[in-house]
Amino acid sequence: MATESAEKPTAYEIEKLRELIGTRIVLWDFDGPICRLFAGHTAESVAVGLVDWLAERGLTGLLTPAERGTLDPQVVLRAVDRAHPGSELVAELEQLLTEEELRAAASAMPTAYADPLIRTWTAVGSRLAITTNNSPLVVHAYLAGRGLTGCFGPHVYGRTPDLHRLKPDPDCLNRALDALGAEPSAALMIGDSPADVVAARQAGVRFVGYARDERRAKPLGDSGARTVLPSLEPLLVALRS
């Protein structure tokens, strides 16, 4: 099911969404559903910076040509970790990425309707957590800047030194469920990538996809997401109604 962001959701669509939003546990991906982390400090510039950092050390041979030209800094980090898992090199590169993510958080753009949806879900008694491949330090910094820390408390589950546990591995979802004492069947995840779809399915969690355009929506549908929305507004309308 997809609801056009330019139109109010129909009564039927609201009723279908109610089946999902009645959950008491909501797991959010961060970059995408909550904000555009790299809206100002672009992911492309960060990826280029990581590749340049490796080049200065004569280590670009660790990357394939496609990885050297990637627009996604996570791709660079994963590639180096595959070559030298758990090494000091990986730790240094991860720290550099975290610093760049923190810089990006200062100019991140909130996703439309995310803040009121988060606050409304909290107000009606749902428990929220963030399950992300970004650094938890970055998430906490962003939440503090938006006054949303109290909606999540300590429940931010992000990147750890075990980089092979990044999504699509369900590790961060499982950590959230364990900490909240929740059964997977009682939880809903909101995500924006095929990795989120796979992680939710492996964790046994229901899933709602967020994709602000068709280009982003198609990979979610191809990965098996049954509900993909171009806006969070229908969720907010359904929750408030």
What class does CATH assign to 11-37+108-240?
alpha beta
Decide the pairing of beta strands 109-110 and 35-36.
antiparallel
Say yes or no to pLDDT of 240 above 70: yes
Nearest 5°: CA angle at 207, between 36 and 110?
A: 20
Which two three-digit tokens encode residue 214? Answer: 């068709």
Which two three-digit tokens encode residue 67? Answer: 């990885």
**Domain extents for the chain?**
11-37+108-240, 43-105
Sheet of strand 25-28: strand arrangement: 156-157, 127-131, 25-28, 187-191, 206-210, 228-229
Say yes or no to pLDDT of 12 above 80: no
User: 73-83 and 88-105 are packed helices; what angle lies between their axes, rounded to 10 degrees?
Assistant: 170
Are residues 134 and 171 in contact, defined by beta-carbon separation less than 8 angstroms?
A: no
pLDDT tens per residue, range 39-94: 999 999 999 999 999 999 999 999 999 999 999 999 999 999 999 999 999 999 99
